[in-house]
Structure 1
């Protein structure tokens, strides 16, 4: 009997242990099935006030992030605002055995904005990941309508006349608040359907140093905070504080746009309490709604008739173009750097420079003009462009007026402004003679058969001072082999019997071999490079011996032509100074002073270094 009782007790212990293990496995997050739940913030909920929703998904893997799908609500807008994953691990030790578990949770944050009052149904949400899936239930929200405030008003002020594509106009949003409500209104939230039309309009928000308040606008991509100003104004016999938000609007395409009214929801405190420090804190508030009237905005295209060649799409009230050149005295082919500054209204930052040849600008017969587009930089309320041109002949006397055109929406016509001409003095380019041009000298073949009866030839282009190459010849040499031992053992002289003299002879032999190697290396050098280097040094010496500014600049130009490299910018500036001084009264015979000579020599040395 006792034995049977002992067996039953052992069986119960094993059953309890097995039940405990099963319970632990069922409680483990790894063993739990995928699940999802949906919850919303506490109400009441109102039209135009965002409702924050959260979908919690559990039982999924840490990666990849699960996909979530939901049908669009019928009477509102649902937007995903963020995903917050969280992972936690735990370690358990039971009967000496360690087990590790991981708990993964994804929180999907949503914002729902109701458009009409009544009961709204949201969901279900479906979450999937690598074959795993879970769904939430449906959520029913009761959306109430906020009472409209009769004392406050909201105004979206748009231009009365039709707009033109590309025209930049100010758009103002005004919120009028009675002065006695100051300090009782909290959490204002704006909804402006016009600001949602990013497919048809572009908005620019200039900085306003007088801004003293920030207004929050709810958009499809989330809330946006914009600065606004405040001033006082009388309305309906009552003093009001007017909060004004100003944006710059640019239409992108034509059309007639029916805009829903702008609206605002704000909390109005109706009960207060005071802290220990005497500060008033609202304990109860009621929501109030302020709404504008629906509006229509018409956008028209630019007219084709009368469009100037220098028009690049800029629309505005007025512009001015200024042109300056970095030099006024040049030679044919010298670079002339033009600086163009465009001034006008705020839209100047997006202005594009027209072709320099437009509307009788630069002539391709007079100037070499770059083909690429000229990029500008917007600074200090103006846009700056830089371009390099070159005069093609001596008949060029000025940079002609350059044109810039725009469309004036007030006058409903195209307008054109022109810059002032820039006087130029163009003289002939420096002519490089045949002596300054370096040509390749063909190298004589090294394996040429030597004719003992033929005199060594010379290079006819090398000049009278060129040396002839010595020709090795064995004519007249005694090549007989002697077998007389006494003659072979007989010393040739007492001088060669000296060991020191023999060492000197060996040293001279090594020196001759070294000189031969150097001569061979020099013979293998490119004759054209040697001639170019010699010509550069000759021009460098001419810079040293120059007595006038004209002689120094001419020698430097010959160095540039001989070197065959692009004209350095610092040398370009120096030559421009030389040309300006040379064209001044009495400049042709102006003596080269020491500072100018030092600069010329430094530039010549730099050219010599870059050429080698």
Structure 2
């Protein structure tokens, strides 16, 4: 006879359910009260390493900076932990000989789901830029942190610092480097001449030979140069042009990164210290790039004194170069007591800040007074020579009537090209001085050691001045009565007209706010106008990266309006398909994608595009694409 379960007492079916419920409650309590570390929900780690470049190799040498990274990492299977998960972080101990020149902090986060298993990772990365001072073995002590009440410690790392990289020798301009240097990137210094006299300018150039293109402006401080006066030959908008050259069997990108003009100020052995450059390159479109440091050789000059033979009278050692002298007198005829302008100009290829100008004559028939300090201007021509102008102005006052002659001026100097002393002169100037009108003030001529004490009338017009006429105003002629003219009707009609205008304004405003599409199009037009203004400002200022970045943003914003989602996160294949789905022609899609790639390349490749010449054409091309894309914006 089978068992009739329907006739069993209720307690027989209740006991299994009760046992299952109690088991679930016990498991839940166990999971709640068990620490996360026991379950392996949160795990922490601190790791220290030397950051390597994109090639995975890091060779440490004296004088070349490198980066040590300390990663503080937290992993969780449930998520929800705080980003500041650590406490009491202690930086690693750097021994003597390793100097920390910079420090920065960054964060990284990632989420992974593998076979339905969720894992979240969050890291704080402490980066230390270290500069070794001498070769040898160094041990960097561990870094520590606290997390969830426990102390975590990284391992110590041992570094082998090699001897400094051999810098290539100094070359004259036009000479090629030694082919034996083709094994690695190097920093070459060249000079315009090796035989220098005091005051003679010498141009020093630094070339960087790299295996990949530069992605940023190279960074370097001018080297120490005791005994020289120097000036940079680069402008603020200098473009770094990379030239592909072959050295032996290797191909390099040669870039002129620095150029200065040096004027030695004394004789003897003068030295320009080695120069270190920090630069960043990228070999591929998706590579993050690498930062390198290279050092050039020091430059020594045996500066010779100027020859003593043939030195003219009045020569100053500051006047070394090629000069031209000019005298300009405002008028050739004048009256006694008249004052005119006299200008002396010295120009040429020389250090004009050290120019003192010619010696001015002492005249018995006129007075000559300086009119302010001399004006000095310097310009750089073709980044190869410095041209200057020294201009002094004088007030020329005739004191004696008759036919006179302003004597010729002379300016002795040493020409380093011709290697001899020369003198720049002016022609004498004939001056006719007529008698002064009766009662004129007489001015004494310019004599050294004397002061002009001639009496003169002061404010001769004072007795003839009269006070202005003054008329008292005792009343007003404005007696308008508003309630007896047309003003009365305007004042009566003003309040209802204002209320009617306010109502019309609110009605139009509500209609415009209700049109969401029109508001969105208006906001897009406003953003485009602002972006175009930023593009033109960047073009005028010569900001290479900002110009191409704003052009790219213009296209991306319009593409986002067409595909109805952000185009920034789409790869090219996805963006191409989305545009084709919106019925955009294939030729237009191809032109847009090619333009985006070109803008991205030009943005991170300084020197590849001449902004001053090709920038306006690129802007016009971008605006034409925007005009064609506007037809597909919904």
Q: How would you bin the TM-score normalised by the shorter chain?
A: 0.3 to 0.5
Greater radius of gyration (CA): 1
**TM-score (norm: length of structure 1):** 0.42
**TM-score (norm: length of structure 2):** 0.40
